[in-house]
Amino acid sequence: MALSLVYADEAGRIYIDDKLIALGRNGPSFFELDQAVPLPKGASVVVLPGRAPVGRERWSGRLRSADGWAVAALLPAGYARTLIPAYRSLAEPPRLPFFGYTAVGAYGGRLYAAALPVDELRSRWSPRFYNTKTLPQRIARLQRIFPGNRLVEHLSNCALCYQCFTAQNLFYERWEAGIPSSRRCNARCLGCISEQEEDVPPAPHSRIGFTPATEEIVQLGAHHLDRARDGIISFGQGCEGEPSLESILLAEAIKEIRRQTRRGTININTNGGSVPDLARLVDAGLDSMRVSLFSAREEHFMAYHRPSYTLADVADSIRMARSRGVVVSLNLLTFPGFTDRTGEVEALLDFIGETEVQMVQLRNLSADPDWVAEAFPLTEKTLGILGMIRRLKAKHPHLRIGSFTHPAASFRRRGSR
């Protein structure tokens, strides 16, 4: 089926143009939305002002700009987008906020997104499990259990105001819960969602304004792991900097949490830049590590992350963790037209082979597509996101592809390397 183009007027009303076939973009090329799924629950449709949608005429096959503004889908986690929206930018369009813009089309009056489901755990992150009527009661209960714990207050705000699912899981006592700790960072990532130097557009999250005490971390960590089904606590959230820079604090907390309970998984979401700090956490009892990566090519890695460390340091951190039995995943910041370039994919394959990474978590890079194209010109042909996934699996058959941090025990059950 050829999906129809979707567009919006200046008031934000959505329309369908059946005369034009919906298109998406990957690198320099436009494509029809052949790999599309019905708009998932939890997704939303947003208007892209200053950008005219581009479609293909059904009767002639020619490309044509449509009236109105282009639109995009914002996907829930668990889906990897395959195409970004196809549009023509008008004079000086406003910079778009930090979201993962995905091409969208329509068929039979129903909206579809250019995306692939990539993780069997995505049902756990369905909106129907979050923002329930009982959430305020659950927050109040934890506040009574741990009065004066500043992390409870901070995560209450994250859960209610930002509707952060990992914050909410702490109060629901299930699955993965985030525990932020660090105000500092050793990188200046272009797409950082908690701190932007020029603040254009503004970062969507506010970075934590205090350093928690060991007891505050232990209280929440031990409480969650001791009660949660498939419990995971993760250091390194969108509302903080680099957690390994607080390695002394976190190592003390991990040791005490493990003294109180052996259940669940202790995970860190990290940039992997400091081998000594991460080694301290591994020695303390860290179970898993997720390392954020934009590119496995040094030039692009440095240009995006703008770190005080090198790509070699990241590889050394992963090898160190793997040698000591820690489960390691890559948090691959994915952008169609860049991540699926042949050179990028081959470098990624080599990096995975050299470091023995066990999982690649595909996370849609949240950024204005024009901004990405300015920083990293999208002029090369690509394998496509599905082609990249197939290449990863063919080269590394034991590699797990997904979007979420899985319990460490599940890797041991599968017999992963």
Cα–Cα dist 53/71, whole Å: 8
Q: What is the pLDDT of residue 237?
A: 86
Beta strand 44-48 pairing with 69-74: antiparallel
Fold of 121-414: TIM Barrel (3.20.20)
Task: Show the tokens assigned to 357.
Answer: 């990474």
Residue pLDDT, tens place only, 119-159: 988 888 888 899 999 999 999 999 999 999 999 999 999 99
Cα 24–Cα 27–Cα 33 angle in degrees, nearest 5: 20
Cα–Cα dist 21/56, whole Å: 5
Is residue 414 scored above 60 in pLDDT? Answer: no
Q: What is the 3-class SS of 71-139, one letter each residue?
A: EEEECCCCEEECCEECEEECCCCCCCCCCCEECEEEECCEEEECEEECCHHHHHHCHHHCCCCCHHHHH
Q: How far is CA 41 from CA 176, 342, 401, in A?
A: 20, 33, 22
Is residue 288 scored above 90 in pLDDT? Answer: yes
More confident residue, 260 or 91: 260
Total-model pTM: 0.93
Residue pLDDT, tens place only, 14-28: 999 999 999 999 988
Full DSSP string of 382-417? B--HHHHHHHHHHH-TT-EEESSPPPHHHHHHHT--
Q: What is the pLDDT of residue 51?
A: 96
Is residue 331 scored above 80 in pLDDT? Answer: yes
Q: What is the pLDDT of residue 126?
A: 86
| Total length of the chain | 417
Is residue 318 scored above 90 in pLDDT? Answer: yes
Residue pLDDT, tens place only, 31-81: 999 889 999 988 999 999 999 999 999 999 999 999 899 999 999 989 999
CA 321, 325, 327, 329 torsion-angle sign: positive
φ, ψ dihedrals at 29, nearest 5°: -110, 150
Mean pLDDT along residues 167-195? 91
Residue pLDDT, tens place only, 103-118: 999 999 999 999 999 9
Mean pLDDT along residues 231-241? 92
Domain with CATH 3.20.20.70 in the chain: 121-414
Rg (CA), the chain: 22
Please, what is the average pLDDT of the chain? 93
Is residue 1 scored above 80 in pLDDT? Answer: no
Residues 6+ apart with CB under 8 A from 136: 160
How much of the chain exceeds pLDDT 90, in percent? 83
